[in-house]
Amino acid sequence: MTDVLEDKRTATRFRILVEMADRQPAVSQGEIAEAVGVTSQAVSEYIRELVEEGFVEKEGRSRYRVTKEGVDWLFGAAGDLRRYVEYVTDDVLGSVREEAAIAGDRIAEGETVTLSMVDGLLHAHSGGEGPATGVTTGDAATGEAVGVTGFEGIIEFDPGTVRVLQVPPVRVPDRDLDPEALAAACEDRGVVTAAGVEAVVALRRAGVDPDTTFAAGEVAADAAARGVDAVVVTTTDGVGRVTDALRDAGVDHEVSGI
C-alpha cells in the first residue's frame, strides 16, 4: 500500500496540507477541520508540526504558505496515490468488472471464452484459448450480448489511425472541392465524422453520409482506440479543435486538404 495510506495520521497530514495549499495564504483552521473531519485543535497541532518540518511557513496571524519542500512532498504523495489507484483500477478491479460482448457462437454461463475486437466491438467465442480470455456471466445465442468478467491476457488488435481532411470555410469566395476525391478518401475508413456545416455539405456532395456531426474529433479518437480507422472532415478554421482532441487522446493522425 502507498505510504500516504499507510496510517491514518499520514493520510490526515496529506489532506490538511492539500487544504492549506488550496486556501493559502488566508487559512481558516475551522474550515480545514470541517473538510478533513478532525477537530480544530488537531488541525492546529498538525500545522505546528508542518511548520517545524519546513513544509509550511507562517506569514502572520492565520496566514500560511506551503513551502517548496511541502509542495515536493505533496507531489510525491500524490504520485504514489495515482499509481495505487491505477493498480486498483487496472489490476484489481479490471479482473472483476463486467463488460458486454457480442457472442460469436452459442455460449453458456460460466464458460471461458476467447475475446477479440472486431470493428471496434468486443466479441466472445467459445474455446477460451486465445491471448485474451474471460468468463461469461450468462447464456447467449450467436449475435446476442453476453456479460464477461474475469479478464486475463491482452486483446490483440492494431490501433486505428485518423485522417483529418480540410475543406474551405464558407467565407472563402472560391471554394473549389473535388467530391470524387473526398469520397475516395472516406471509402476505406470505418468511421466518418463531420465537424461543421461546410463539412456536412461537402460530404453530401460526395455522396457520403457521416456517422456523426457532433464531437467529431472525440468520436474519431474513440474509434481509433478500438482499432477502427477514421476520417474527420472539417474546415481549415476548425482543424485545431479536432487535432487538439486527437492529441489529447494520443491518437496518430495526419492532416491534409481535399
Long-range contacts of 57-60 (CB under 8 A, 24+ apart): 59/25
Sequence-separated (6 or more) residues with CB below 8 Å from residue 242:
164, 195, 216, 217, 220, 232, 234
Q: Tell if the pTM clears 0.95, that is, is over it.
A: no
Contact 193, 232 (CB under 8 A): yes
What cell does 208 get?
457520403
Q: Does residue 166 contact residue 185 with C-beta atoms inside 8 Å?
A: no
DSSP state of 107: B
106: Cβ contacts below 8 Å, ≥ 6 apart = 126, 140, 141, 142
Q: What average pLDDT does the chain have?
A: 89
Say if CB 244 and CB 221 are below 8 A apart.
Answer: no
Average pLDDT over residues 87-100: 66
* β-pair type (121-126, 191-195): unpaired
Angstrom CA distances, 27 to 11, 33, 41, 47, 70, stand at 20, 11, 14, 11, 16
* pLDDT score for 1: 47
54-85 per-position pLDDT tens digit: 999 988 888 889 999 999 999 888 888 887 77
CB 88 within 8 A of CB 74: no
In order of start, what are the domains of the chain with their CATH numbers?
3-92 (1.10.10.10), 99-153 (no CATH), 162-257 (3.40.1010.10)
The long-range contacts involving 122-129, CB below 8 angstroms and separated by at least 24 positions, are 122/148, 122/155, 124/148
Model pLDDT, residue 7: 78
Residue 129 has pLDDT above 90, yes or no: no
Contact between residue 29 and residue 19 where contact means Cβ atoms under 8 Å apart: no
CA–CA distances in Å: residue 121 to residues 116, 118, 143, 229, 257: 8, 5, 12, 13, 31
Query: Tell me, what DSSP letter sits at residue 91?
Result: I
Distance CA 61, CA 67 (A): 17
Pairing of the two strands 162-167 and 230-235: parallel
CA distance 17 to 47: 8
Tens of pLDDT along 195-215?
999 999 999 999 999 999 999
Instruction: Outline where the chain has alpha helix (H).
Output: 8-23, 29-36, 40-52, 68-86, 179-187, 197-205, 216-225, 239-248
